Amino acid sequence: MKTSYTNARIIDPATNHDAIGTLVVSGNLIEGYGADIDTSDVSETIDCGGKILCPGFIDMRAHAVDAASALAGGITTIILQPDQTTTIDTDAVVERIRHRSVDSQIVSVYPMGTATQGMKGRQIAEIGQMQQSGAVGFTDCNHAVADAQVMRRLLEYANHFEALIVQYAENAELGVDAIAHEGEIATRLGLASVPSAAEAMQIDRDARLAELTGARLHFALISSKDGVEAIRAAKARGIRVTCSTAPHYLHLNDNAIEGYRTFAKVRPPLRSEEDRLALIEAVADGTIDTLVSDHSPKSADVKRLPFAQAASGIVGFETMLALSLAPVHAGKISLMTMLRALTTNPAQLLGLPTGTLAAGSFADFVVFDPNKPWRIDADALISSAKNTPFDTLPVQGQVWRTIADGVSVYEKA
């Protein structure tokens, strides 16, 4: 059975294609796309009304599967972080998650395993066997591997398997107990804080180790101008480092925690306006490779607490597209660059068979209206929790259809 998506602005960042045309899906594969593609034996035609059609988003950092919420956000591939109820630190757990994902046939879930055993930073995790079972990367989540010797051996060992290590970019000693960015606001609120230097220090050290070992290294959630500059310097040296940030760092600064608003409590913390602007620039020039949601559903019970005790994290699936498009609408980042950071770049980093519209690839794609205005409504979110600092925020850009494995799995009412 064939379906065609006509009258679509087809954008494939893998080939820099951006033109109005038709995309034909045959079964669960993309048959092809173009302005004059053969649609003679198509049984269903969907008029996209000039909306953008691009590869389904790949979220490199999610702490929960929350499938319905992901699909509503145009996300067809989720990289599940190892900090689950059962820590993902053995091949058996990896296998179970992969099987469950294949069985569900809706959203693709690829787990990351821990980098060290129990995320304690002392013993290397069983990277080889987890990779054989389907783990696509290895990280200790919000714990930086602090010991330089352990980090060096971890990179050496991972390099043998060409495995991607994802490091949390924060010097552990400087970041101890920190819940806010070091600056005027943290001082006035009386919150323990961490300076941007902590991020840059970790990047500097680990980039050296990546250079020494020849290994690939990805830094999660860059949040500061210092961090961006450290990444830029490492890339200029030819070191195999990449990094990501999340839309909330492009959208908010530490003003958001005024009044001890715990819904804006994230790790690393929201930083200054100068940092926010530097991050936008870094996405625009490719210093930051990927955008992630860091989707982390937390019930109100663990958020409505004194700031220090409240859980960190926000739900990010359903707001990812609209928030990412804000700097595009402002003319700061090109649409192609932004979509590349959401699709092709993470696919290539993780070696996934998605993130492209090339003929023969899996029919995982999203159709969205880049200009549709709407207001974020926390209560209307599908996600399993409503912890977002963006409630009532007017935004532009909305998902219209999400197609996973050839099947239309989300349609905007």
Partner 1 sequence: MNTHSTDQSSYPRADVDPPSGKLFPHKHLLGIWGLDPTAIKHLLDVADGYVDINRQAVKSAPTCAGLTQINLFFENSTRTLMSFEIAGKRLGLDTISMATGNSSIKKGETMLDTAATLNAMRPDVLVMRHGDSGAVKLLAEKMDCAVINAGDGRSEHPTQALLDALTIRRRKGSIHGQTIVISGDVAHSRVARSNIYLLNAMGARVRVVAPPTLLPADIDRLGVEVFHHMEDGLKGADVVMMLRLQNERMNGAFLPSTREYFHFWGLTREKLKSAKEDVLVMHPGPMNRGVEIASDVADDLDRSAIEEQVEMGVAVRMACIDILTRHLRPEDNA
- Binding positions for partner 1, rule: CB under 8 A: 116-117, 122-129, 147, 149-150, 153-154, 156-157, 159-160, 213
To partner 1, the closest distance from the beta carbon of 124 in angstroms equals: 5
Phi, psi (degrees; rounded to nearest 5) at 344: -65, -45
To partner 1, the closest distance from the beta carbon of 330 in angstroms equals: 46
Q: Are 8 and 30 in contact (CB under 8 A)?
A: no
To partner 1, the closest distance from the beta carbon of 82 in angstroms equals: 14
To partner 1, the closest distance from the beta carbon of 234 in angstroms equals: 21
Using the minimum distance from each CB to partner 1, give the nearer residue, 147 or 281: 147
Question: Could you tell me the strand order of the sheet in which 108-111 lies?
Answer: 57-62, 75-80, 108-111
Helix (H) or strand (E) holding 21: strand 17-26
Q: Are 220 and 248 in contact (CB under 8 A)?
A: no
Using the minimum distance from each CB to partner 1, give the nearer residue, 215 or 333: 215
- Of the candidates 59, 66, 289, 294, the residue annotated as catalytic is 294
To partner 1, the closest distance from the beta carbon of 231 in angstroms equals: 25
- Nearest CA to 335 among 5, 11, 22? 11
Instruction: For residue 72, give both structure tokens.
Output: 């509503």
> How far is CA 120 from each of CA 89, 173, 220, 251, 289, rounded to the nearest angstrom?
12, 14, 18, 32, 27
192: CB partners within 8 A, 6+ apart? 177, 178, 179, 180, 186, 308
Question: Which residues, listed in sequence order, are joined to residue 291 by a DSSP beta bridge?
Answer: 245
End-to-end CA distance of the chain: 25
User: Can 294 be counted among the known catalytic residues?
Assistant: yes
Write out the catalytic residue numbers.
294
